[in-house]
Amino acid sequence: MAEKRDYYEVLGVSKTASADEIKSAYRKLAMKWHPDRNPDNPEAKTKFQEASEAYEVLSNPEKRQRYDQFGHQGVNFGPGGFDFGRDFSHFQDVDLGDILGAFFGGGGGGFGDFFGGGHRHRADPNGPQPGDDMTMELEIDFDEAVFGSERTLNLTLPDQCPDCNGTGAARGSARKTCPTCGGHGQVISGGGFFQVRQTCPRCGGAGTVVEKPCPTCRGAGQVKKPRQLTLRIPKGIDSGARLRLSGKGGGGLRGGPPGDLYVVLRVRPSEIFEREDNDLYVNVPVSPVTAALGGSVDIPTPDGIANVKIAAGTPNGKMLRLRGKGVADLRGGSPGDLVARIVFEVPQRLTGKQRSALEDLEKSLDPSNFPEAQTFAARLKTFYAHKDKLSK
């Protein structure tokens, strides 16, 4: 998976870009990549979402500060860029007409909502605020998924700043009405040929700002804190599963409850088994001599080696199903099956004696030993007879 791109890089602005520069850069990208304008370009949707995500963070001073301090982890998008908990669909609910309308003097509510984060809950800036849900990706081995395991996670997550109890204000300093928006949380910006109502860039819509920022957290209300967690991986889990650790996400603000931590699992492929749901597939190399004579074959299962008899004349590619020998069911249902596929291995590096034994065998064989080859030859004969007739 590609490394998540830096938000400043996504918008093509410098780290010191002003709110206006960020807005203008985003507007250009949004116009360029809006899915309505690029119906045949699947890349556009990704570009549009990437830009919208970057804008959502960089246009909000508190989030921008957290992003500057903690990177992607500080703003709730997992390290691998995975995040199932977030929903960007609302960005697409806004149609292109709204964007264009806002540009050409409409100044409509659509655009305001688009930038104003009207879908976000406006929390009381002085009250408790729940922490963010965090999502991370974890790669585990195939056998850990099959047998279950325990992992120790060492994470550095944002937690409530102990010095200001998450208020972001220095000791003895309180929050005051935001001078930029006068406490409304929104400002009218633009001018010229369009106007937009947008979330106040100074206070992020809260309507208040801290008088003097807390020196420990630089006003963010949160600090990075290393944490060690134990993750229990249940047996039977598969790639893409998401485990939730309740209350282990980002710390809340001003006494708010912490968010949850989600761990999305990626299972490394096995060198022996292929997995499909709870069924396992395994290719078992078998000597064609054993297959011709009949005999026993060792078949690996997660529980150990199973010795299975095969009949004389077993064909190459024959599938043997061992019921219930696959992967345990995560929800306590019946386990999957193990399916072994017989794959002939032709003997290599023959001795002179072995060679002459095979030559003797070859001489003794006649077409009746190979019923499939006989059928095949008959079909070919019909095919070429037909061809000769047609080309005459």
**Binding stretches for Zn ion (CB under 5 A):** 161, 163-164, 178, 180-181, 200, 202-203, 214, 216-217
CB nearer to Zn ion: give 53 or 159: 159
- Nearer to Zn ion by Cβ, of 57 and 161: the residue is 161
Minimum CB distance to Zn ion, residue 207 (Å): 6
- Long-range contacts for 101-107 (Cβ within 8 Å, ≥24 apart)? 102/194, 102/196, 103/193, 103/194, 104/193, 104/194, 105/193, 105/194, 105/195, 106/194, 107/190, 107/194, 107/195, 107/196, 107/197
- The b/e string for 69-81 (b: 16+ C-beta within 10 A; e otherwise) is bbebbbbbbbbbb
CB of 102 to Zn ion, least distance (A): 21
- Min dist. Cβ of residue 173 to Zn ion (A): 11
d(CA 237, CA 246): 19
What backbone torsions phi and psi does residue 137 show, to the nearest 5 degrees?
-110, 140
Closest to Zn ion by CB, 161 vs 233, is 161
CB of 54 to Zn ion, least distance (A): 22
Q: Which is nearer to Zn ion, 187 or 280 (CB)?
A: 187
In whole angstroms, the minimum distance from the beta carbon of 91 to Zn ion comes to 23
Pick the closer one to Zn ion by CB: 215 or 247: 215
Taking the least distance from each CB to Zn ion, the nearer of 56 and 62 is 62
Please, what is the minimum distance in Å from the beta carbon of residue 210 to Zn ion?
9
Report the alpha-carbon distance of residue 143 to residue 300 in Å, rounded.
Answer: 13
C-alpha to C-alpha distance for 297 and 35, rounded to whole angstroms: 57
Token reading at 279: 């069924």
